[in-house]
Each structure stands twice: as structure tokens, then as C-alpha cells.
Structure 1
């Protein structure tokens, strides 16, 4: 019997088999895992996630995947140092992260083929290769839809903003963007949550009553509008957050003891990590932190050691330690990535250029085993040592798994098109304890 392949790459015989399995109670996701021989992995442990985005593309060769024996054309200026875990070395300008190596996993040899900032960012922020015909939802939108959260807190917060989009899920699953980063020791006011300019709770109550009257008058216009549905949700939740002491307190980093705040440092990134800790502790399900400047086409080593690495070292190590100390690391997944790595070969302006063929990512918490390195790049840092490496799809599938989200689950676009959350990904069993 001939086998016909659909445009999605599914053979007709397999499609019929999926139908039979569905009748017996097995899902399409279960069938995919069975057909690929995927091993079982430990169940989800995370209730929340912190996604740290490093836009611009950080170099793997000068951070978490140094090659001290590579030729001068590739090696770079920094030396490796030993971490807390025997046999694992990282950059000398990351001493605090070296001391907390037992709390996170380094993924080396992560590889894809998109060297453009926007498209590469879309790939690593969704786990799906971009398509011109479809805008995939980012991690935050999927987590918001699947995990929900308390009514008086936003499901998802982005500090100061996020490259992730709600995509075909609709604006109601977009994050609350703070629009700025917090400052050490100062109360952090977020538009839409903090009361200002003499506004009182009574004023808000009156305005909410008026909005309810308007909603009743214009309800008929909302039935088929995804945008209006999202805006209505935002309006209701904004009211609940404004009148919630818990929500306002969650954003107020000035309530932290000075000795705690100082550990995170004075940088915007460090204080964003402190804010993320408070938000997760308060019940927010998903927090995104973005800190850019990693597009180091020139003056790479000076920019790294002076401006870029110190805040990451202090902020991220303090985040992992604080989550651990507060009993939150096991139930909070931390995921750190840029959109790609940078060229192993040094360019003529003492920099490195876009390079998606080899990069690093970091993961921690949520049942992920700390103190390990998974994968490897070759001796020049040019390609995955095994020729394949880890794809953003597989890492996304693993990330969702920590949160108890089945990455093979299907959603439907506004036109009714069925789309899996991550179309090509498989869970990486080695990540988990």
C-alpha cells in the first residue's frame, strides 16, 4: 500500500492510526511520544517560571563555553575558572555564577539556522521556527492560558517589556509590561497598578461602576471581537489589581531588607531579578526579564567585562540563591537565552558576529537537575560536537514540561486551524533529576 504524505509531513497510514488511537483514549501527543520511542521523564514540579531574555545574542565562546585550546583566531581574551561543580568551567568574569553552579544546568551546542535578530528571537521565544503565515504565541502567553493565576495579580509580567507576543491566542494573554526597570531601595510603581496623582480607591470604584454601565450598553458589539474580549479582561483585572494590597506590595521592592536588595546589585537587571523573585513569591505565574546590549560586533571583550557580564553574574546568581533560600527554586523554572550565539572566529573589529550554529542556554529549577553540562560544541566552538546539538524546539518542549504543559496540545487559530504548542519538539530527559 502506498503511503501518502500530507503537507505537514504526516503519512496517511499514520494519520489513520492516530484516529484509531484517539478512539481508544490515547492523545495525538501520546502517539507521537510512542512513535519516537521517547523515554518517560519525571513529572512537572514548577508552578511558575522566570524567562530571562538576552537580546542581541550573547557570545558562548566568552561566557559558558570557553575554548582555551582553540587557535588565536577563535580563542578570545578571557580565561576559564573552576565552578563549584568539579570539572565544569565558565568565564573568569562570572565568579558568582561559578559559585552557584550546583543550582543550574548549562546547555552547550544549542543550534539552529536563523541568524537574524527578530526571526531568531521569535524562534527561541516560542519553540517554533517562524512562519510568514502564522504568529506563534510566546511562552508567557501559553503559560498564562494554561496556568491562569490569582484574579488580583497579573498572570504574566514583563520587566521592562517582552519580545514574546500573544500570537494567535489573542491580546488577552499578553503580559503586563512594566515599561521600566526598578531602582534599588525605591518603591516601584507600575502604570495600571499603583495609585498616583491623588487618585483614591473610591475614585476607582466610581469609574468601575461607570465602565460596567458602558459594558452593558455595548455588549452586543463584543461577541465576535477577540481584541475587545482582551481589553475587557484587562479592564476587569486592572480594577482588581489596583484595589488589591497584595498586588501593590508584590511590585514594591523597597519592602525588601537592604541586605537582601544589596546582594542583587544596583543594576537594572539585578533589581529586576529581585522584583521577579517577589512576583513569583506573591503568586505571579510567569515573569520575563529582558536585558540587551549583547550585539557585540566590535569591542567585544571590553563591553563584556565592563558592562554586560557583571550585572548578569550578580543578578542571576542572587536570583537563584534567593529562590532557593525561599523554597521557591524547585517550583520555579528559570530559563536564560539569547536569540543566537556569536561567531567563534574573531572579526577585524575585535568582535564577534551573528552565529546560530552554536550557542548556550541556561536552565534551573522546576525539577531540572542542577550542576551539570548537557551537550557540547566542537573544539573551535563552531558546531555541536555530535553534529546535531539541542534545538530550540526540544528545549521549549522541556521548558513546558517543567510547568506541566503538554507541548503537543493543539490550539486553534481564529480561522479554526489546529496548531500544536510546539510542533517539532521532544522533551530532553537528561535535564531532569
Structure 2
């Protein structure tokens, strides 16, 4: 339950002398229900082509099947794209969900839908996955609970800015010192530079009267200032963000490209105790030259880096406690257009899930012979979200109080996909 000011005063009556930061830590400890889980969202921004990746149609006419061929995987009877050979060999580590369907073939609306599991509405601003996890399972005080590499995909919605991600501001690049929200992690940043900003937090401590009534922007200001300070003052946090600590062979395993370095950072953050990490792999909006873009760079990089993360989590015994979701905002048109590309198509798409209680090594759902739509009812983004939350350890029927005058159900219309979780 929330820690009220009344409870705060009771603590004070016991002789405790708490600053605001002490109080926040106390409140988090009271609210924390730690199930030992963490999660990773790999978002393929732009809308990946389902029929050129994990839902191929080799028997369809040429203008539908495209230029790629399927290859067999480690799961009998299941084939995926020839440009995903490493993932093909590890098909027993993840589940493919085909036949996901919705009607929002717009990048902004589609992204909002897939990142929250709720159909966008002007009435309710739903929170993205990581914000919910940040609220339910906060990390230790010296680590952010929720990190979004480069930028946030969506916002914290009705949960408030205090549950938004710590966005790094940029992606890591091999051979260059990495920066987190303007903080250089190459040893040149001194604590003195941040002490003036830290003083602002202390001023808020001194002026504390009714924390639970503070404006949201003040609470988020305190939180982000505090996290910035913690990153440069905490050995644990600095180490988590410092890719120079990795051996060269591990860098090579993930890939020296931007996505590889982002996935390596994601893995390090999970290992350190961050609860939720979002990493972006963009460039999938292939209205033209679809096959060259996919075959030359996007698919090989994705194949290498996702495989490396799954392998490392498994080697360290963390895959069982880390829920992984790989998705875009929609699929692409079944028929190749005149520019050798595929356009937006929300009626059919596919996603991957791994880790936690996922029953890996299977395909759930199906699309018709041209990948135009699901066979049967298919699954909605709401169903995918309900499954993802359930796998993390959060009941998708959880209710939160919001500013709309009534409790809001976390995933209002979705149900856990049958057979996906054990």
C-alpha cells in the first residue's frame, strides 16, 4: 500500500530523522513485492515485415513471398528467414506468436498500442510496460528501475513522470565513451560538477511538507537528479553502463554495430539489477528496397545481437527470470509494391517471447496462405501485453487509480495467450 504522510510522521515519532530521499527509499521498500523478475523489450521501430522474418509463405505467388527463402530451425517443422541462421539454431529458446492483428497502421498509434497493450484513447493515457514494472518492482536505490536506451518509446501515462524511464539520450557506439543523460562515463566526470544539482534535492528535503501532494514535475525532477547523481557516484551503476569492461570477444559476439552495443548494454543492465530495459532497433519502415535493407544489415545485426543476449542470459542462469518481448508496431503488406518494398499492414504481424515461464520452441497462431490476416480470431496487442505482464509476474487485471475518476485496469481487454506460458 502507499506510504502516507501519516505513516511518515509515525516513523518520525520513533526518533528517525529522515530526509526526502530517505523517505522515498522507505516508501519504495514498503511497496516493493520482489519476485526476482526483470524484463527486456526489443522494439523493432517502423514495423518489420512478418513474411520476410518469422512468418514466411514460400508457397505463395512471387509477388507475395518476396525474395527470401526459409531455413529449418532446431524445432522440427518450423522455418524462418535465411538471414536469421543463429536464431534458427536457437528456436528452442523462444516462442513465435503469429497472427497478431489490429487496425492501427499508423506509426504513432500503433506504437502506443503495442507499448501499452491498450487501444489508444483520448480519455486515458496508458503507461508503457517499463513504467508499470518500475512501479511494481523498483530496483535498489543505487540503480534506476527502468532504462530506455537512447529515448523512451512511449510515456508513463497515468502513473506519472516519476515512473518514466531513465533515458540514456544516445546509443552506445563501439570505441566511443558512452554518455548517460549528458554524463560521460569515461572517467572525466567529477562528482563536484554534480554537487550543485544535488543541492537542489537537499533544498527540497528541507522544504518538505506534504510529499504526496507535490506536483508531479517536482517529483520527477528529484528522481532524475537523484538518479544522475547515483550513476556517477555508485560503483555498481557506473560499472553497469561501462562497456569498456567487456572482453573483446564478448564485444564481437554481440557485434560492434550500434544495435550490438545496445544489446550488450541491455544485458549488463539486467545483470546489474535494473528491472526493465527498452532497446530500439529502428529502420524497419521499408516502403522501398525492402529486401536489400533487410538482407544486408537489419536482419544480420538483429540475428547476431538478439542471439548473443539470449545465449548470455541462459549461460548465467538469468533467462528463467528475465521476460523478453521482441515486437514492432505492425507488419507489412503481403504484396510487394512497385518500389520493391512493403507498406504498413496492421492486420497481421508476429512477435517473439522468451524467458520466464514462456514455453519456448513453439509457434502459436497462424496466418493465411498470403500472410494477409490471422486464421481464426488471431491475437490482439492486448493479449500480447497480458501475456508479457503475466510472464513478468504482474497480474494484467491489476487496477490503478488514475485521474479519470475511476480505477483503471492494467490491460482492460486482453487475455493471456493460451499455451504460451507454463
Q: TM-score, structure 1 length as denominator?
A: 0.85
1:59 matched to 2:83: no
The aligned counterpart of 1:200 is 190
1:143 matched to 2:153: no
1:268 to 258, 274, 284: 258
Report SS of the residue matched to 1:431: coil
1:113 to partner: Cα distance: 1.1
The aligned counterpart of 1:129 is 119
**Alpha-carbon distance between aligned partners in 1 of 2:372 and 2:366, rounded to the nearest angstrom:** 10
Whether the 8 Å contact between 2:124 and 2:404 is mirrored in structure 1 is no
Whether the 8 Å contact between 1:45 and 1:367 is mirrored in structure 2 is no
**Alpha-carbon distance between aligned partners in 2 of 1:210 and 1:299, rounded to the nearest angstrom:** 52
Cα deviation code 1:344-366 (max 9, x no counterpart): 01111111111111111000001
**Alpha-carbon distance between aligned partners in 2 of 1:187 and 1:407, rounded to the nearest angstrom:** 40
**Alpha-carbon distance between aligned partners in 1 of 2:185 and 2:355, rounded to the nearest angstrom:** 35
Report SS of the residue matched to 1:152: coil
Cα deviation code 1:382-424 (max 9, x no counterpart): 11112x1111101101100111111111111134332111100
1:289 matched to 2:279: yes
**Alpha-carbon distance between aligned partners in 1 of 2:76 and 2:186, rounded to the nearest angstrom:** 52
**Alpha-carbon distance between aligned partners in 1 of 2:89 and 2:293, rounded to the nearest angstrom:** 23
The aligned counterpart of 2:393 is 404
The aligned counterpart of 2:307 is 317
Q: Cα 1:210–1:227, aligned 2, differ >3 Å: closer, same or farther?
A: closer
1:116 matched to 2:106: yes
The aligned counterpart of 2:378 is 389
Q: Which runs of 4+ in 1 moved over 6 A?
A: none
1:201 to partner: Cα distance: 2.9
Q: TM-score, structure 2 length as denominator?
A: 0.87
Cα deviation code 1:89-138 (max 9, x no counterpart): 00001111111111111111111111111001100000000002221100
Which residues in structure 2 correspond to 1:34-433 (within 5 Å)? 47-184=37-174, 186-191=176-181, 194=184, 199-202=189-192, 204-205=194-195, 208-209=198-199, 211-213=201-203, 215-217=205-207, 223-386=213-376, 388-433=377-422
**Alpha-carbon distance between aligned partners in 1 of 2:347 and 2:94, rounded to the nearest angstrom:** 23
**Alpha-carbon distance between aligned partners in 2 of 1:97 and 1:224, rounded to the nearest angstrom:** 48
1:46 to partner: Cα distance: 6.3
Residue segments in structure 1 that go unaligned for 5+ positions in a row? 1-43
**Alpha-carbon distance between aligned partners in 2 of 1:69 and 1:95, rounded to the nearest angstrom:** 21
**Alpha-carbon distance between aligned partners in 1 of 2:345 and 2:270, rounded to the nearest angstrom:** 33
**Alpha-carbon distance between aligned partners in 1 of 2:36 and 2:61, rounded to the nearest angstrom:** 42
**Alpha-carbon distance between aligned partners in 2 of 1:255 and 1:137, rounded to the nearest angstrom:** 34
**Alpha-carbon distance between aligned partners in 2 of 1:257 and 1:416, rounded to the nearest angstrom:** 53
Whether the 8 Å contact between 1:140 and 1:164 is mirrored in structure 2 is no
Cα deviation code 1:59-100 (max 9, x no counterpart): 011111110100122110100000111111000011111111
Whether the 8 Å contact between 1:141 and 1:173 is mirrored in structure 2 is yes
1:426 to partner: Cα distance: 0.8
Whether the 8 Å contact between 2:177 and 2:186 is mirrored in structure 1 is no
Task: Kindly report the root-mean-square deviation, in angstroms, between the aligned alpha carbons of the 2 structures.
Answer: 2.1
Whether the 8 Å contact between 2:84 and 2:300 is mirrored in structure 1 is yes
**Alpha-carbon distance between aligned partners in 1 of 2:352 and 2:98, rounded to the nearest angstrom:** 9
**Alpha-carbon distance between aligned partners in 2 of 1:362 and 1:413, rounded to the nearest angstrom:** 31
Q: Cα 1:216–1:109, aligned 2, differ >3 Å: closer, same or farther?
A: same
Cα deviation code 1:128-158 (max 9, x no counterpart): 0000222110001111001111111111111
Q: Cα 1:267–1:203, aligned 2, differ >3 Å: closer, same or farther?
A: closer
Report SS of the residue matched to 2:53: coil
Whether the 8 Å contact between 2:167 and 2:181 is mirrored in structure 1 is no
Q: Cα 1:235–1:80, aligned 2, differ >3 Å: closer, same or farther?
A: same
**Alpha-carbon distance between aligned partners in 2 of 1:366 and 1:196, rounded to the nearest angstrom:** 35
